[in-house]
C-alpha cells in the first residue's frame, strides 16, 4: 500500500489557560504537539504497514517551518518520509483553502512518491475542531471518504473501515483510492524507538512552496481563497457565585448540601 | 453560487424507519428565528426512505416548505448519495443559508457539500445570530477545545452553511395543525455512484445505550474517581437520584466507563436540570459539554478546581466519602 | 564540567518520559500492590530499544552515552522504582561485565540478545553467607576438563525468574580467597540450574528477587567470563558502575516524592490555607529539592567519569551514599507533609519510602560506600 497521512502541528489545547485579568488565552509556554487524531491516523496506516511491510507511509503537513518537528516525530514513529507544505501565500487559509492547497500538494507528491492508495487524516485538529479538511480533500480529489474511522484493514481493492456512528459502529467498505479520517481508536499509538528517533533526526524534510505546486491557483489559497472570515473571538463567560461547602467532616458537608439543594428546590 | 432567494434550509436527518432524528427538529427553532430575520422562508429538507413521519414532524414544528427526496438508496446515510442530492437541490432552489446538525452524518456531509459548492462552512456551532452590520449569519463556535469562542461570517459566498451542535437548541412543542407546502423531488442516485458500502452494523455494547441529552439528572465521574471499581459510587448516586451516569474524558480514556457516557467537547453536550460532577476538575473541554445545566453540583477534593467556578453547589472533600453518604441521604429523603 | 544531555539524548529521555507518563507511572501502584513483575513495562522498554541504550551499535545497542542510560534509570524510578531496577540490573550488572570482560564470541552470543532485549540479564554474587563480605563465596565451579561443574546457592538475585542470561560468580580455587573467584555466563534453562522462591520485600515489590540453585550444573568451558581467578575484580568493577544506576534510582524516587508533596500541599487546606502557603512547607520543600539536586550532580559526575574512562569507583560510592541518604530523608519528609493521607496506600508516599530504603542496601550498603570512599582517601 502507498499511504499518505496528513498531519498538523497544534498547540496542546489541554495546556491552554485563560488569563483571569485580561480574559484572553495564554498561549505562551503551551507546547506544540502532533494533533492527537493525526497520531491515530498514522497508527492506522502503520498497522496496515505491519501486515504488508512493502507498504510505504508518507506524511505531509501544511504549516510554518517549525512544523518540521511533527514530521520528524511521525518518521520516528512509522512514516518513511515527511514533506512540509509552507509558503506565506498560504497564510490565513480557512478549511476550504487549506484543503485545496493540500490537494494540490498531494498531486505534486504523487509525482515523487507514486499514486496514494489511501489518504489518512485525523478527524479534526484539536485547535480548530472543524473536522472539515479531510472530507474537503476527498472532494477536491474526487475520492470517496469514510470519516470517524476507528481502524482500517485492506481487503483486495477495498479498505474495510471500522467507523464510529452515533449509536455504535459500522464496518464500511470503500474502494481505493480513498480518504479516511481517524477518531480515537481503542488502541494506543505506538512509541518510536531509540533508533528510529535518531534516524528521524537525520532525515531530510523537503519543503514544498507555492512555486512547487505547479497547477495551483493562488486565488483559491490564503485569505483570498477563504470564504469564511473570523469576525471576533472571545473567551466564554463563566457563571459565578456558587456555594462551596467545606465542613470538618464529610457527613456535615453532605448534610449541608442536602439542606441547600432542598432549599433551592432542586431536590 | 448565487442565492436565488432569502430562504433558510434545515437539513433534517432521518432514521432508517423514516422518523426524524432530534437534531433536525431542534434546528427548526433557531431556523425560524433566523429565517424571519433574513426575510425568507424556513424550509425543511428531508432525505431518506419512507419519510412521511418525518415530514409530519417538520410540518408541525413550523417549516413553511418541505422538500422531500424519498428513495430506498437513502434509507442509510451515504456521503456520496446525500451530497449529490443536496447539491442538486441547492443548484435548483438556491437558498441563502443552510443549517445541518453537527452529528457524525452532518459533519461528514457538510464539508463535502460546501467544498463542492466552493462556499464556506462553519462547524459545530453553538450560537446563531444575524450580523447586523452585514446581514450575514454570525456563526459562533468553540475552538481551542472550548477555551475560545469564535464568531465566523461567510460574506461573499452562498449558501452560507453551518453545522450546529445537537442539544444546544430546544425543539418547540410543535403544532400538529400547522401546514407546510410539501415539494417532492424525484431524484435517484445510481448504485455505482455510491462508492461506500455498509458491510456490517454493530449497535452499542450490550444495550448500554444512554440518553444523556434527554436526561433530567446526570451524575458524572472523572479522573478523581480513581478506578473503574470506584465508579460504582457514581452509579449508586445516579440510581438514588433517578438519573443517568456521565463521565469526563479522563474517566472514559482510563477505560472506567464506555465512550457513550462521555460529556464534553469530544462527547455529548447536555443540559439536565441537575448535573453532579464527581471527581471532575472541570477542564474547559468538559465544561463545554455541561455548563448549560440548570443546576451544577460539584464534589472535588481540590478547592481550586475550575469546576467550582461553574458549580451552584460544591463540596470540597473526598468523593469516596461523600458519594456513598450523599446517596444514602437522598435515598432516605425519597423514602 | 558539562553534565548535560545532548539534544539527541534529551529527545530520547523525553520519549521515555512520555511512556512513563502514559503507562509506567499509572501502573506503579498496581505493580507494588500485586507484587508482580512489570512485564508490560519491560516489553515497551524492549520495543523502544532501552535495554541496550548504552551498548555500542556493533552489538545492536543504541550506542548512547552512559549518562543517558543513567538518566533513563532516574526517569523510570520517578514513575516506578521496580521498573527502574529491572533495567538497572540488566544494564549495569549483566550487560556491562560482558561488554567489558567478554570475548568477541561471548559478546555476539550474549551481549547482542541482552542489548536487543530479547533476553533479560541478571547478576549473581550474593550468597547466604556472602553478603557484604562477598569474598566468602561458597558456590564452587569445578574444572571437569570439557566443562565447569557449578554447585551452590545464590540469593537476593534481581530479575531471577525473568532473566535468560546470568553472570554468576563461583570459587574456582578455594585456597586463594578473593583470587580464587571466577565469573561465568550461565543461561536460564541449563540443566541443574533452578530458581528458588520469590522473596517478599518491603519495597520494589514487583522486581523478581529469588534464589538461584545450582546442582551439578554443567557450564560450557567457553563461558568463563574474564580471566580465571579474576572474578572478584569483575564483580567489584561491575558494582562500581551499578552504584551509579542505583543512585539514579534513589534520586528518581526522591524527585517523585517531592513532586507528589508539592502537588499535595497545594491541594490540602488546613487552618483556612493551602498548606503550601505555610512557610515551613515552602522551606522544607526547598531544602528537599536542593539536597536532591546536589546528589544528582554527584551522580552525573560519576557517570561522566565512567564514560570518559577515568577512575570513578569513589565517585560512584559518593553518589550512591548521598543519593540513598537523600532519597530516604526526602521520602520520609514528603510523607510527613501528607500526614495521615501520606500513611495510607491511597497516596504514593508510603511506597516511595519503602522503595527508597533498598537504595541504602543493595549493590553495596551505605556502610560499604563509606569504606570505599575512606579507602580512596587513604584513611586507615
Tell me the nearest-neighbour CA distance from A45 into chain B, angstroms: 19
Of chain B, the percentage scoring pLDDT greater than 70 comes to 98
Residue A240: pLDDT above 70? Answer: no
A191 and C18 within 8 Å at the Cβ level: the answer is yes
Residues of A in contact with C269 (CB under 8 A): 246
Q: How many CB atoms lie within 10 A of CB B48?
A: 28
**Can you give the pLDDT at residue B205?**
56
Give me the total of CB pairs closer than 8 Å, taking one residue from chain A and one from chain B. Answer: 240
Alpha-carbon distance values, A19 to A26, A242, B140 (Å) = 6, 21, 21
- Residues B287-329 have pLDDT tens digits of 878 887 889 999 999 888 889 988 999 999 999 999 999 999 9
Helix (H, G, I), strand (E, B) or coil at A67: helix
From residue B224, how far is each of B155, B258, B296, C342 by CA, in Å?
46, 17, 17, 17
d(CA B46, CA B86): 10
Mean pLDDT, rounded, for C5-14: 94
Q: How far is C53 from chain A (nearest CA, A)?
A: 8
Question: Rg (Cα) of chain A, in Å, rounded?
Answer: 22
Contacting C with CB below 8 Å, chain B residues are 301-304, 316
Q: Which of A13, A66, A57 is nearest to A35 (CA)?
A: A13
Chain A contacts of B112, Cβ < 8 Å?
135-136, 138-139, 145
**Backbone torsion region of residue C203, taken as left when φ is above 0, otherwise alpha when ψ lies between -120 and 50, otherwise beta:** beta
Taking residues A117-143, report their average pLDDT.
96
* Interface contact flag, C53 A197, Cβ < 8 Å: no
Q: Any CB–CB contact under 8 A between A29 and chain B? A: no
Residue A186 confidence (pLDDT) = 83
Q: Please write the tens of the pLDDT for every residue from B93-128.
A: 999 999 999 999 999 999 999 999 999 999 999 999
Q: Is A246 on the interface with C (CB under 8 A)?
A: yes
| CA distances, C46 to each of A39, A194, C40, C110, C167 (Å) | 22, 10, 10, 16, 20
Cα separation, C126 vs C157, whole angstroms: 8
pLDDT at residue number B121: 97
B146 pLDDT above the threshold of 90 = no
CA distances from B176 to B28, B30, B60 (A): 15, 19, 5
Q: How confident is the model at residue C246 (pLDDT cuts 50, 70, 90)?
A: very high
Q: B148-153 and A229-234 as β-strands: parallel, antiparallel, unpaired?
A: antiparallel
For C69, nearest residue in chain A (alpha carbons): A194
Q: Which among C72, C77, C82, C87 has a CA at the least distance from the CA of C36?
A: C82
The span from the CA of A76 to the CA of A180, in Å, is: 22
Give the neighbours of chain A: at least 3 Cβ pairs within 8 Å: B, C
Residue A196: half-sphere exposure toward Cβ, Cα within 13 Å? 19
With 0-12 / 13-18 / 19 or more C-beta atoms within 10 angstroms meaning exposed / middle / buried, residue B105 is: buried
Q: For residue range A181-236, what is the model confidence (pLDDT) as tens digits?
A: 999 888 889 999 999 999 999 999 999 999 999 999 999 999 999 999 999 988 87
DSSP letter string, C223-286: GEESSTT-HHHHHHHHHHHHHHHHHHHHHHHHHHHHHHHHHHHHH-EETTEEGGGSHHHHHHHH
A154 and A189 Cβ atoms separated by less than 8 Å: no
Contact B17, B54 (CB under 8 A): no
Residue B42 has pLDDT above 90, yes or no: yes
pLDDT at res. B204: 64
**A181 closest CA partner among A126, A128, A118:** A118
**Alpha-helical runs (H) found in C118-230:** none
DSSP structure string for B194-259? --EEEEEEEESGGG----STT-SEEEEE-GGG-STTTHHHHHHHHHHHT-EEEE-HHHHHTTSS-G
Tell me the C-alpha to C-alpha distance, in Å, between residue B82 and each of A231, B20, B160. 31, 16, 18
Minimal Cα–Cα distance from A59 to chain B, Å?
22
Chain C positions touching A191 (Cβ under 8 A) are: 15, 18-19, 44, 47-48
The rounded distance, in Å, linking the Cα atoms of B253 and B259 is 8
Q: Which residues of C touch B253 (CB under 8 A)?
A: none
pTM of the model: 0.85
Q: Tell me, what's the pLDDT at A65?
A: 95
Mean pLDDT of A70-82: 97
Distance (Å, whole) CA C4 – CA C300: 9
Res C123: pLDDT: 98
Residues in A touching C64 (Cβ below 8 Å): 194
Q: ipTM of this model?
A: 0.89
Contact B313 A126 (CB under 8 A): no
Quote the DSSP letter at residue C361: T
Q: What is the structure's pLDDT at A22?
A: 74
- pLDDT for residue A241: 64
CA distance A119 to A134: 9
Cell of A186: 481503542
User: B277 by DSSP, 3-state: which?
Assistant: strand
Q: What is the DSSP letter of C156?
A: E
Residue B116's nearest CA partner among A105, A121, A142, A133 is A142
Q: What are phi and psi of B276, to 5 degrees?
A: -110, 115
* Residue B207 pLDDT class (50, 70, 90 cuts): very low
Nearest to A194 among C22, C64, C269 (CB): C64
What pLDDT does residue B212 have?
87
Q: Strand ranges (DSSP E) for chain B?
A: 8-12, 42-48, 65-70, 97-101, 121-125, 127-130, 137-143, 148-153, 160-164, 181-184, 196-203, 217-221, 244-247, 274-278, 295-300, 313-316
| Average pLDDT rounded to a whole number, residues A109-113 | 96
Q: Which residues of A touch C12 (CB under 8 A)?
A: 194, 197-198
Q: How large a percentage of chain B has pLDDT more than 90? A: 74
CB pairs under 8 A between A and C: 32
Q: At what angle do helices B104-117 and A133-141 cross, to 10 degrees?
A: 50
Note the pLDDT tens digit of each residue in A4-63. 999 999 998 877 777 767 767 787 888 999 999 999 999 999 999 999 999 999 999 999
Grid coordinates 453553538 are at which residue? B126
Sheet with strand A145-155: strands edge to edge: A207-208, A81-85, A56-62, A2-7, A118-122, A178-182, A145-155, A158-165, A168-175, B196-203
Which residues lie closer than 8 Å to A122 by C-beta, 6 or more apart?
A6, A7, A8, A35, A36, A37, A38, A39, A40, A41, A134, A181, A182
Tell me what the mean pLDDT of segment C74-79 comes to.
98
Q: Is A71 helix (H, G, I), strand (E, B) or coil?
A: helix
- As annotated, the active-site residues of C are 363
pLDDT at B273 over 90: no
Q: Give the SS3 label for residue A181.
A: strand
Q: A122 with A7: CB under 8 angstroms?
A: yes
Question: Smallest Cβ distance to C62: which of A191, A195, A201?
Answer: A195
Which residue reads 449497535 in cell numbers?
B203
Say yes or no to pLDDT of C353 above 60.
yes
Predicted local confidence at residue B206, as pLDDT: 45
> Do C269 and B301 lie within an 8 Å CB cutoff?
no
Percentage above 90 pLDDT, chain C: 92
Amino acid at each position: 500500500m502507498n499511504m499518505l497521512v496528513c498531519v498538523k502541528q497544534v498547540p496542546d489545547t489541554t495546556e491552554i489557560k485563560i488569563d483571569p485579568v485580561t480574559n484572553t488565552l495564554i498561549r505562551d509556554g503551551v507546547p506544540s504537539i502532533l494533533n492527537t487524531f493525526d497520531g491515530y491516523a498514522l497508527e492506522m496506516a502503520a498497522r496496515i504497514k505491519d501486515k504488508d511491510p512493502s507498504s510505504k507511509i508518507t506524511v505531509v503537513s501544511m504549516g510554518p517551518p517549525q512544523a518540521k518537528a511533527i514530521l520528524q516525530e511521525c518518521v520516528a514513529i512509522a512514516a518513511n518520509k515527511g514533506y512540509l507544505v509552507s509558503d506565506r501565500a498560504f497564510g490565513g487559509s480557512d478549511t476550504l483553502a487549506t484543503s485545496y492547497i493540500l490537494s494540490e500538494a498531494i498531486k505534486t507528491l504523487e509525482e515523487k512518491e507514486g499514486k496514494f492508495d489511501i489518504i489518512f487524516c485525523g478527524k479534526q485538529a484539536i485547535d480548530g475542531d472543524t473536522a472539515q479538511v479531510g472530507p474537503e480533500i476527498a472532494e477536491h480529489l474526487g475520492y470517496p471518504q469514510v470519516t470517524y474511522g476507528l481502524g482500517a484493514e485492506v481487503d483486495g481493492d477495498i479498505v474495510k473501515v471500522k467507523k464510529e456512528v452515533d449509536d455504535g459502529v459500522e464496518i464500511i467498505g470503500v474502494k481505493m483510492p480513498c480518504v479516511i479520517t481517524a477518531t480515537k481508536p481503542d488502541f494506543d499509538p505506538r512509541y518510536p524507538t531509540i533508533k528510529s528517533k535518531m534516524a528521524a533526526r537525520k532525515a531530510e524534510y523537503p519543503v514544498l512552496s507555492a512555486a512547487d505546486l505547479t497547477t495551483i491557483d493562488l486565488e483559491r489559497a490564503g485569505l483570498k481563497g477563504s470564504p469564511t472570515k473570523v469576525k471576533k473571538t472571545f473567551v466564554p463567560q463563566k457563571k459565578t457565585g456558587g456555594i462551596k461547602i467545606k465542613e470538618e467532616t464529610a457527613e456535615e458537608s453532605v448534610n449541608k448540601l442536602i439542606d441547600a439543594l432542598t432549599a433551592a428546590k432542586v431536590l | 453560487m448565487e442565492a436565488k432567494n432569502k430562504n433558510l434550509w434545515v437539513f433534517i436527518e432521518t432514521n432508517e424507519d423514516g422518523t426524524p432524528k432530534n437534531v433536525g427538529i431542534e434546528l427548526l427553532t433557531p431556523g425560524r428565528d433566523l429565517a424571519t430575520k433574513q426575510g425568507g422562508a424556513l424550509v425543511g429538507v428531508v432525505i431518506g426512505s419512507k419519510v412521511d413521519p418525518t415530514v409530519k414532524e417538520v410540518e408541525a414544528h413550523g417549516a413553511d416548505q418541505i422538500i422531500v427526496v424519498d428513495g430506498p438508496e437513502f434509507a442509510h446515510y451515504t456521503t456520496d448519495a446525500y451530497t449529490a442530492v443536496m447539491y442538486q437541490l441547492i443548484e435548483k432552489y438556491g437558498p441563502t443559508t443552510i443549517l445541518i446538525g453537527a452529528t457524525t452524518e452532518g459533519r461528514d456531509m457538510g464539508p463535502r457539500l460546501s467544498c463542492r459548492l466552493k462556499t464556506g462552512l462553519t462547524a459545530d456551532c453553538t450560537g446563531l445570530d444575524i450580523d447586523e452590520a452585514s446581514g450575514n449569519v454570525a456563526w459562533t463556535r468553540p475552538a481551542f477545545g472550548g477555551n475560545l469562542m469564535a464568531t465566523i461570517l461567510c460574506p461573499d459566498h452562498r449558501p452560507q452553511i453551518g453545522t450546529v451542535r445537537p442539544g444546544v437548541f430546544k425543539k418547540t412543542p410543535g403544532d400538529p395543525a400547522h401546514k407546510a407546502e410539501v415539494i417532492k423531488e424525484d431524484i435517484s442516485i445510481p448504485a455505482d455512484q455510491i462508492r461506500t458500502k455498509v458491510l456490517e452494523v454493530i449497535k452499542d455494547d450490550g444495550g448500554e445505550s444512554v440518553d444523556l441529552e434527554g436526561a433530567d439528572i446526570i451524575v458524572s465521574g472523572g479522573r478523581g474517581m480513581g478506578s473503574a471499581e470506584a465508579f460504582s459510587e457514581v452509579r449508586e448516586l445516579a440510581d438514588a437520584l433517578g438519573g443517568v451516569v456521565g463521565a469526563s474524558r479522563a474517566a472514559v480514556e482510563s477505560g472506567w466507563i464506555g465512550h457513550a457516557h462521555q460529556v464534553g467537547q469530544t462527547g455529548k453536550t447536555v443540559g439536565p436540570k441537575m448535573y453532579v460532577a464527581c471527581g471532575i476538575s472541570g477542564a474547559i473541554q468538559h465544561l463545554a459539554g455541561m455548563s448549560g445545566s440548570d443546576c451544577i453540583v460539584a464534589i472535588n477534593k481540590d478547592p481550586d478546581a475550575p469546576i467550582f467556578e461553574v458549580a451552584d453547589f460544591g463540596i470540597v472533600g473526598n468523593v469516596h466519602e461523600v458519594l456513598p453518604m450523599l446517596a444514602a441521604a437522598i435515598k432516605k429523603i425519597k423514602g | 564540567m558539562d553534565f548535560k544531555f545532548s539534544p539527541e539524548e534529551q529527545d530520547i529521555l523525553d520519549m521515555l518520559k512520555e511512556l512513563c507518563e502514559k503507562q509506567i507511572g499509572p501502573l506503579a501502584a498496581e505493580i507494588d500492590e500485586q507484587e508482580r513483575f512489570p512485564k508490560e513495562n519491560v516489553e515497551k522498554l524492549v520495543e523502544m530499544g532501552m535495554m541496550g541504550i548504552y551498548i555500542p551499535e556493533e552489538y545492536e545497542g543504541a550506542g548512547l552515552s552512559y549518562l543517558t542510560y543513567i538518566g533513563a534509570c532516574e526517569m523510570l524510578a520517578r514513575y516506578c522504582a521496580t521498573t527502574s531496577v529491572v533495567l538497572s540490573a540488566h544494564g549495569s550488572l549483566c550487560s556491562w561485565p560482558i561488554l567489558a570482560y567478554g570475548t568477541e564470541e561471548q559478546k555476539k552470543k550474549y551481549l547482542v540478545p541482552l542489548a536487543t532485549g530479547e533476553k533479560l540479564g541478571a547478576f549473581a554474587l550474593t550468597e547466604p553467607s556472602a553478603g557484604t563480605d562477598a569474598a566468602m563465596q561458597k558456590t564452587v565451579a569445578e574444572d571437569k576438563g570439557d566443562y565447569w561443574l557449578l554447585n551452590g546457592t545464590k540469593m537476593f538475585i534481581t530479575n531471577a525468574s525473568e532473566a535468560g542470561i546470568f553472570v554468576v560468580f563461583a570459587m574456582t580455587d578455594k585456597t586463594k580467597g578473593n583470587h580464587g573467584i571466577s565469573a561465568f555466563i550461565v543461561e536460564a534453562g541449563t540443566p541443574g540450574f533452578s530458581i528458588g522462591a520469590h522473596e517478599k520485600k518491603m519495597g520494589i515489590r514487583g522486581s523478581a528477587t529469588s534464589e538461584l540453585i545450582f546442582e551439578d550444573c554443567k557450564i560450557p568451558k567457553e563461558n568463563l567470563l574474564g580471566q580465571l581467578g579474576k572474578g572478584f575484580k569483575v564483580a567489584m568493577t561491575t558494582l562500581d558502575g551499578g552504584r551509579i544506576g542505583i543512585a539514579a534510582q534513589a534520586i528518581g524516587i526522591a524527585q517523585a516524592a517531592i513532586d507528589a508533596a508539592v502537588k499535595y500541599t497545594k491541594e490540602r487546606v488546613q487552618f483556612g490555607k493551602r498548606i503550601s502557603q505555610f512557610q515551613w512547607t515552602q522551606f522544607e520543600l526547598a531544602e528537599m529539592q536542593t539536597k536532591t539536586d546536589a546528589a544528582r550532580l554527584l551522580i552525573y559526575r560519576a557517570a561522566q567519569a565512567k564514560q570518559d574512562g577515568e577512575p570513578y569507583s569513589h565517585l560512584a560510592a559518593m553518589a550512591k551514599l548521598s543519593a540513598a541518604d537523600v532519597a530516604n530523608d526526602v521520602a520520609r519528609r514528603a510523607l510527613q507533609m501528607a500526614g495521615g493521607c501520606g500513611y495510607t496506600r491511597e497516596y504514593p508516599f508510603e511506597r516511595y519510602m519503602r522503595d527508597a530504603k533498598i537504595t541504602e542496601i543493595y549493590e553495596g550498603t551505605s556502610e560499604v560506600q563509606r569504606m570505599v570512599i575512606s579507602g580512596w582517601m587513604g584513611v586507615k
